[in-house]
Structure 1
């Protein structure tokens, strides 16, 4: 017996129109809820990120979006920035403004600039470092407006840490002068520059007289104070651009770029006098210190800094042999 199968109606084919409308509304509400959840999640992420997301209309020179971190990092109103891009420009540290604007313009030809670092001055006067990467937004047509998007991260703490590590790597901890490695790195650069340009440069070596006696008599803590005071005196006497560093236990060195031995000797003599004026007091016993100095200048035959260093060293030990507390030219 043949049974005629009736074609099945599609789901909800016989559903009343009101029920269909209700299902459509429920579906739409679900989509709205999911969109709302995503927006809330996105907003939460933007608030928690310690970086400024931004979008800039290049033709209009107008900021069209900035994330909540802007007000936290810059300490300025996002509303004012969206109304006037100069709010951002005016916050840039003056010495860095040309660099910041030039590297922003480079994004037009490169498509992306990812190594921008510059300083800003926040509303409360603090100087902050930003790492500000920027990109050209994808355009669907050539005639579409150019939108530059970017992310500006606050790297102030990182910069401070880098600066402290650099200071520790280049500075003698006790005297806060250049350490031996850093002093000679800078001295070699200055010598090479002077050699190439045919300029004068002088090298000074200074050694504290009878420093072992000071340590043995008054103790190493007192000896440390002597080293610190002499380093302070050296920094006060030398000119801007001169190099000064502690290169050994009680031995210091100086380089005078662009300075003939005659002029350098005047500086060394002043340094000698100022060190002689230093007074130290250990448990009521007052004492002073003296130094022996060896000084030399570059000649046309000197091809490397080590030649000057060697001559100054010989001259300094000659000053020791001749009675100490004097300057010998080498």
Structure 2
């Protein structure tokens, strides 16, 4: 009986072996492609500076956070995956109620794209976060509510916004409110006082003989006087009062909820504070005085302009009566 001879390189491959080999090569190719795809996804997620996250609403479980979580929050991802309160506890206390309420709104709206709140990262730094969230598309029959989102660090943007707001509302020289911002705040205080029937006082202040200071000592010296007057105003006024430079050497203040008697006491303290200021130019020292016009809201006042006009008239009476005094209007 003839023995089977071993196959040689010239023997054609058996069909079963060829199919097995092709299947093996195909499988290896699929594995390689999947591995490359996973590496690509992993590389992309690692390079994205925003936190991608998924959250199970019913179980209060964080299902996924991308690698940026640890960079933004400064905490291990394993902790927040084990306990949602890790994320919740990182939210700045004053913003916690808003962050939770706005997250719940996604159940009604389907998407919430205007969530901004602060967090305290692992190093104790306050960071601003923009945290958009969406309801994930559910498969038919799946009752779970999965919320997905993207959280970005917007701290630099917020700082820039704050600086732009400061520049838009602040007098550059004195760092007090500029004219536009002062009158916007005064109008708001006036409207609130009218609506709620609460007292309101309005004060105008003008530096006496300021032109003489500029002419005698120079504008740089005049600028220093303006800065010191503004500092005095900010030191004397109460929390919630508004103080600003409304033009040249003229300042104004508004006192919400302040009776006429209390406003007069504040104006007198300011007068004394300014009288105590001392300036020097070369070997010469000098002081400054101010004239103030003070008035309060009455039932007849229908606009802020009427208070401003009355305080302005009182201030000019103070000038005519010898300066360095407070006149009520």
Give the match's secondary structure for 1:132. strand
1:278 and 1:49 map into 2 onto residues whose CA distance is 56
Partner of 1:262 in structure 2?
Answer: 261
| Aligned residues: CA RMSD | 1.4
Structure 2 counterparts to residues 11-160 of structure 1, below 5 A? 16-160=15-159
2:273 and 2:68 map into 1 onto residues whose CA distance is 53
Give the match's secondary structure for 1:247. strand
Task: Please give the per-residue CA displacement for 1:75-122, whole angstroms capped at 9, x wherever unaligned.
Answer: 000011111111101100001111111111121222211111110000
TM-score, structure 1 normalization: 0.94
Partner of 2:178 in structure 1?
Answer: 179
1:176 and 1:265 map into 2 onto residues whose CA distance is 25
Shift of 1:15: 5.7
Runs of 4 or more above 4 Å deviation: none
Give the match's secondary structure for 1:300. coil
Partner of 1:205 in structure 2?
Answer: 204
1:87 and 1:271 map into 2 onto residues whose CA distance is 50
1:234 and 1:192 map into 2 onto residues whose CA distance is 24
Partner of 1:163 in structure 2?
Answer: 162
Shift of 1:205: 0.2
Partner of 1:222 in structure 2?
Answer: 221
Give the match's secondary structure for 2:247. coil
1:139 and 1:194 map into 2 onto residues whose CA distance is 52
Task: Please give the per-residue CA displacement for 1:294-318, whole angstroms capped at 9, x wherever unaligned.
Answer: 1111111110000010011111111
Shift of 1:239: 0.7
Give the match's secondary structure for 1:299. coil
Give the match's secondary structure for 1:172. coil
Matched residues, number:
318
1:329 and 1:79 map into 2 onto residues whose CA distance is 67
- Structure 1: where are the runs of 5+ without partners? 1-13
TM-score, structure 2 normalization: 0.94
Task: Please give the per-residue CA displacement for 1:39-81, whole angstroms capped at 9, x wherever unaligned.
Answer: 2221121111111000111221111100000000000000111
Partner of 1:313 in structure 2?
Answer: 312
Partner of 2:271 in structure 1?
Answer: 272
2:138 and 2:196 map into 1 onto residues whose CA distance is 52
1:142 and 1:127 map into 2 onto residues whose CA distance is 42
1:68 and 1:170 map into 2 onto residues whose CA distance is 40
1:22 and 1:73 map into 2 onto residues whose CA distance is 49
Partner of 1:193 in structure 2?
Answer: 192
1:291 and 1:41 map into 2 onto residues whose CA distance is 71
Task: Please give the per-residue CA displacement for 1:202-237, whole angstroms capped at 9, x wherever unaligned.
Answer: 110000011111111111111111111110110110
1:216 and 1:47 map into 2 onto residues whose CA distance is 65
Partner of 1:7 in structure 2?
Answer: none
1:139 and 1:282 map into 2 onto residues whose CA distance is 77
- Structure 2: where are the runs of 5+ without partners? 1-12
2:160 and 2:69 map into 1 onto residues whose CA distance is 23
